[in-house]
Structure 1
Amino acid sequence: MDALIPPLLNGTAQGALLLLAALGLSLTFGQMGVINMAHGEFLMAGAFVAYLTQLIIPSSDISIPVALPLAFVVAGMLGLLLEISVIQWMYRRPLDTLLATVGVSLILQQVALQIFPAQGVPVEKPGWLDGQLGVLGYEWPLRQVFTIVLAAVCVAALAAWLKYTSFGRRIRSTVENRDLAETAGIPTRSVDRITFFVGSGFAGVAGVAASLIGGTNSQMGAQYIIPAFLVVVAGGIGQLKGTVIAAWVVGVALAYFADWTTGSLAQVLAFVLVVVFLQIRPQGLFTVRTRRLA
């Protein structure tokens, strides 16, 4: 029993990080039909914001809380710029968005290599994340607990925004029937842009959390983009509760597979697990009415 607890807790933390990365995709892909392969680079941007914030505010106890909203805004602005310059011409053409954003992803990686060292730069964790939390005899690192709490706060904020605000109702109306929403006077272009801003902003928040665990480098976005897409598809495109459950399952599966095998083989096994699940239930865990992808 003791051998089962560490992978379960570590996998839950890993799932929380995947969830943070997948939240934005749940909006931009699930609700807007856009396959944004540059989403991982928005996560990378959030990680570098955490590093730059620590250069300005040396105290990590203060710099990390400051970096979280800054990373959200910076990544959100990058997403908004991408939507205005590229994506707005490609709605209803998901394969075109995939190809275009792959190019943007490569450009952003090269920009990061020109600005920061190739081996990456470290981000110091705050003093209040030192130590462990004892859970069933296992000393659980507080930085992992922080990732879970951060993911829970972001999910709750997004769910409340979508359900209880007027803009959330506009998003749902646009997703269900764009033409009718435009007839009702809803500015769907503004809805698209703000949705893309928010979805990209969550990637920046995920980048700050990821930097506390593994530092920063120009390739870090590629480590999360495919698992994040798998989480969104397995949970049910555009379905927030499905994304939460799928992220936890994939994270725990990765942790157990890594405990029994190697890290790279664990990712392959988790990918196979998701593919087998989608063969059985191609619509994912849950379904929701969304804009057609073709």
Structure 2
Amino acid sequence: MFAGYSVNDLASIFVMQSFAGLILFSVFLLMALGLAIVFGQMGVINMAHGEFMILGAYTTYVCSQIFERWLPGLFGLYFFFAVILAFIVAGGIGMLLEWSLIRFLYKRPLDTLLATWGVSLILQQVLRSTFGAREVGVTLPSWMMGSWNLTDTIQIPINGMIVISLTLLITGGVYALLYRSGWGKQVRAVMQNRSMAGAVGIDTEWVDRTTFGLGCGVAGVAGAAFTMIGSTSPTAGQQYIVDTFLVVAFGGTESLGGTIASAFSISQVRSILEFFFNGSMAQVIVLLTVVGILMIRPQGLFALKVRR
């Protein structure tokens, strides 16, 4: 596999692919954070999670078009507005979905899987009817273009560094919400013992709704970040939903640290393998490895020990 490469070539390859893996890690982590929050607390298998990511991506696309046409003087700042708007749009639609459908399907995981799969098909068709079936891409501001030359053979794209910085910021914000706020205490109380949480006065329905909205909103932010590294289409979310479930299952559904470690390890291994093999073979190797580990430890590598 390494034949024909010098030591310097291999070092450059590993650095470049590791950074590409960090960009992939950013998308995986933002997607998996939302999914882990929803699945870990409510046991809802949200097959429409990828479509909430694409909602955020299309929100960013619309925002870029508006700024480019009507506010060209502020075009360099549109991405920051788009991230906030993507979170609001995806999170708001997520709360509406929870109120209108998901709340009637709690403790029925198979029904939530089928129902959200239907929602994903509906959202895909709505996006296809609104924006067309062809892929669209955003225009990046000039300051997001180009790369930073680390060495003569290693170049780090600026937009990749922005995506990674955004991911660190969102992850820190989610951690603060879950572990350093009163609302986070309510979320963790409902996650550990819903009946007891309700008995002490916690509005479990509102906690469920806001938690579902937070998970969908973070997926929307993932969509905003995704526009910086790829084009958007109505079905693009389906390319990431399987990987996202894989990350959540591998890390442990109720562990924030496990989700981060799982997303990092899977993205790094996959990125490096994609250079030496093709993308499909790299994904197969990663999938077989994760499945083998889960057969030994089905609760995930970093599952929390919680009294039930």
Smaller-chain TM-score bracket: over 0.9
Matched with 1:132 is 147
Alpha carbons of structure 1 residues 290 and 88: separation in structure 2 relative to 1, 3 Å: farther
Aligned 8 A contact 2:41 2:190 in 1: no
User: Match of 1:123, as an amino acid?
Assistant: V
Q: How many pairs align?
A: 292
Between 210-219 and 135-144, the greater mean CA deviation after superposition: 135-144
Larger deviation: 159-168 or 51-60? 51-60
The amino acid that maps onto 2:34 is G
Alignment of 1:49-198 (within 5 A): 49-58=59-68, 59=72, 60-135=75-150, 137-198=153-214
Quote the residue 1:7 is aligned against: 17
Q: CA RMSD in A?
A: 1.5
Listed one character per residue, the Cα deviations across residues 124-156 of structure 1 (whole Å, up to 9, x for unaligned) are: 122221121234651011111111111111110
Residue 225 (structure 1) shift: 0.8
Letter paired with 2:195: D
Take 2:184 and 2:123, find their aligned partners in 1: how far apart are those partners? 30
Q: Which residue, out of 271, 280, 283, partners 2:299?
A: 283
Amino acid at match of 1:2: S
Tell whether the 8 Å contact from 1:175 to 1:290 is kept in structure 2 after alignment. no
Contact kept, 8 Å, 2:40 with 2:191, in 1: the verdict is no
TM-score by length of 2: 0.91
CA contact (8 A) 1:31 1:290 kept: no
Distance 1:102 1:173 in 2: 29
On the 8 A contact 1:31/1:291 being kept in 2, the answer is no
Counterpart check, 1:248 vs 2:258: no
Q: Give the % identical residues.
A: 42
How far did 1:19 drift?
0.3
Deviation by residue 1:228-250 (Cα, 9 ceiling, x = unmatched)? 11111111111100100111111
Q: Is the 8 A contact 2:22 2:268 kept in 1?
A: yes
- Cα deviation for residue 177 of structure 1 reads 0.8
Cα shift at 1:289: 5.2
3-state SS of the aligned residue for 2:149? strand
Distance (whole Å) between structure 1 residues aligned to residue 135 and residue 212 of structure 2? 28
Name the SS of the counterpart of 2:229 in structure 1: helix
Report what 2:57 is aligned to. Answer: 47
CA contact (8 A) 2:128 2:234 kept: yes
- Give the C-alpha shift of residue 290 in structure 1: 6.6
TM-superposed CA distance for 1:253, in Å, is 1.5
Structure 2, unaligned runs of 5 or more: 1-10
For 1:74 and 1:208, locate their aligned partners in 2 and report how far apart those are by CA, in whole Å: 12
**Quick one: structure 1 residues 240 and 176, their matched pair in 2 at CA, closer, same or farther if it must change by over 3 Å?**
same
Aligned to 2:246: 230
Which AA in structure 2 matches 1:141? P
| Structure number, greater radius of gyration | 2
For 2:255 and 2:113, the matched residues in 1 are separated by 21
1:21 aligns with 2:31: yes
Once the two structures are superposed, residues 9-64 of structure 1 have per-residue CA deviations (whole angstroms, 9 ceiling, x without a partner) of 11121111110111100110122211000000000000000111012111441211
Partner residue in 1 for 2:4: none
Distance 2:162 2:150 in 1: 15
- For residues 29 and 16 of structure 2, the distance between their equivalents in structure 1, rounded to whole angstroms, comes to 20
TM-superposed deviation, 1:266: 2.0
Tell me, yes or no, if the aligned pair for 1:50 and 1:211 is still in contact at 8 Å: yes
| Normalised TM-score (structure 1) | 0.95
The Cα offsets for residues 149-197 of structure 1, whole Å up to 9 and x where unpaired, read as: 1111111000011111110000011111111111100000000000011
Q: Distance in 2 between matches of 1:27 and 1:55?
A: 32
Contact kept? 1:143, 1:212, Cα under 8 Å: yes
Partner residue in 2 for 1:209: 225
Q: Which amino acid aligns with 2:244?
A: A
* Rounded Cα–Cα distance in structure 2 between residues aligned with 1:270 and 1:31: 27
Paired letter, 1:199: G
1:175–1:289 CA contact under 8 A, matched in 2: no
Q: Distance in 2 between matches of 1:11 and 1:257?
A: 10
Moved more, 145-154 or 134-143: 134-143
